[in-house]
Amino acid sequence: MTLLDDAVDAAAASAFPEPGRARDPVAPLSDLLPGIEVEPEAGRRVDWILVAAALALCALGTVLVWSVTRNLDGVDASRSYLKRNLLNVGIGCLLALVAWRLDARQLRLIGPVVYVLSLLGLLAVFVVGTTVNGAHAWIRIGGGFAVQPAEFMKLGLIVGMSVMFAARAMDRDDDQRPTTSDVLIALALLAVPLGLIMLQPDLGSAIVLCAAALGVLLAGGVPARWLVGLIAFGALGAVLAVKAGLLAEYQLDRFRAFANPNIDTQGVAYNVNQARIAIAGGHLFGTGLFHGAATNGGYVPEQQTDFIFSAAGEQLGFVGGGAIIALFAVICWRGLRIAAQSDRIGRLIACGVVCWMAFQAFQNIGMNLGLTPVTGLPLPFVSYGGSSMFAQSLAIGLLLAVRRASPR
C-alpha cells in the first residue's frame, strides 16, 4: 500500500498546492503516471482549425460515399463501402497521430527512408501489380484491399526533396538560395518516380507529383529562370509524349472529350456530361441527401471515387459544394500559415503539401465541372479510397508535426 499512498499524496499535493505556490496543470497526470512524459505545450501547439477542416471533409466524404453506394446490388455490397470508408478514416487518423509525434530530428532521418520505400513500392507494381481502370498502378494485398504506391510517392517526394535542400544548406552553413547542383539533385529525385508513374500510365498522379515538387522548389527559393524553364520543359515534354504515343488511347480520348464535350456523349464524354447534369440539378441548396435523381439512378460512373463532387453538387447544391471548396481553402490557409512560422525544412514540407492538396482538389472539382480534363484523381479526404486517405492523413500529420516543432 505504500506506493498507492505515495501516489495519492502526490496527486493531492498537486491538486491542492500550498498557499503561495502555483499549481502545475499537468502535475497530477505526470505524478500518477511517472513513466509517461507529458508535454505541457502539446495541446496548445496543435492547429485545431486544420484538424477540424480535415475531419469535416472526412465526415462529408463518408456521408456522400454512403449516399452514392447505398443503392448498389445487395445490402452487403452497399454497406461494405460505408464500413471500409469508416475504417479508412479511422486508420488515417491513427497515421496522422503517429506523424504528428515526429520531431525535427526524426523528420530529417526518415526523409530518405520514406522516399526510398515509396520508390520501391512503385517498382513493386511492375512485379506484383494489377491493372485498374487502364492503369497498372495497384498492388492487391488480400481481403479486397489494394494499395496504390503512387499516392505515397507524393508524400515521399515532398519529404525527400525538403530534407535534401535543408541538409545541403546546413552543410554549406548558409540559408541562401539553392545552388545549381541542389536543383539538379531535386530534379533527379522527381524524374525517377515520375518516369515510373508514367509507365503505368497514371497521368493524374504524375501531374500532382510535379505540382508538389514545384511547391517545394518555390518555397526553397529556386531562381525564377529555373521555374520558367521547368514549366516550359514540362509543356514540351507533354507534347512529345502525345506525339510519341506514350499516353494510352483512353487518356487521349479524355483530352478530346475535354476539348469537345459533345464529341461522344454516350462514350468518352459520358462521365463528364452526367456529372455536370447532376451538379446542375442541385441548384442552390440541392435535392437533399439520398434524393438525387442522377445519384440514385447510378447515372454517374465511378461516383464514389473520381466523381464524388457531383454527388455533393446534386444533393447539397451550390452551398454544399461551396462549403467543400471553403474547407480546402482553410486547409491551404493553415498550411501556409504553418510554413510561414517554421524553419527551412518545415517550410518546404508545408508548402509541398499545400500545393499537392490545392492542385489535386482543383483538378478533381474542375473535371467534375468540365473545366479540366479527366485524370482519375480522387478528391482528398472525400473520395472513397484507402491509399489516398492514408497518404493525405500522413500529410496532415506532418503539417501538425511541423507546427509543433516551429520556433514561433
Mean pLDDT of 209-228: 90
Categorize the per-residue pLDDT at 3 as very low, low, confident or very high, splitting at 50, 70 and 90: very low
- Residue 407's pLDDT band (boundaries 50, 70, 90)? low
- The pLDDT value recorded for residue 15 is 39
**Residue 134 CB contacts under 8 Å (≥ 6 apart), including other chains:** 248, 250, 251
Confidence check: pLDDT of 393 > 70: yes
pLDDT-derived band at 148, boundaries 50, 70, 90: very high
The length of the chain in residues reads 408
Mean pLDDT score across all residues of the chain: 84
Tell me the pLDDT tens digit for each residue of 360-372: 999 999 999 999 9
Burial of residue 218 (CB within 10 Å: 0-12, 13-18, 19+) is middle
pLDDT digits (tens, 9 = 90+) for 69-111: 887 765 556 678 899 999 999 999 999 999 999 887 888 888 8
Q: How many percent of the chain have pLDDT more than 70?
A: 86
Q: Is a pLDDT exceeding 60 seen at residue 35?
A: no
Q: Is 384:85 a contact under the CB 8 Å cutoff? A: yes
184-215 pLDDT per residue, tens: 999 999 999 999 998 888 888 999 999 999 99
Cis peptide before 201 (omega within 30 of 0): yes
**227-231 contacts, C-beta under 8 A, 24 or more apart:** 230/187
What mean pLDDT do residues 120-133 have?
A: 89
Residue 37 gets which letter from DSSP? -
Q: Would you give the distance in Å from CA 69 to the centre of its chain?
A: 23
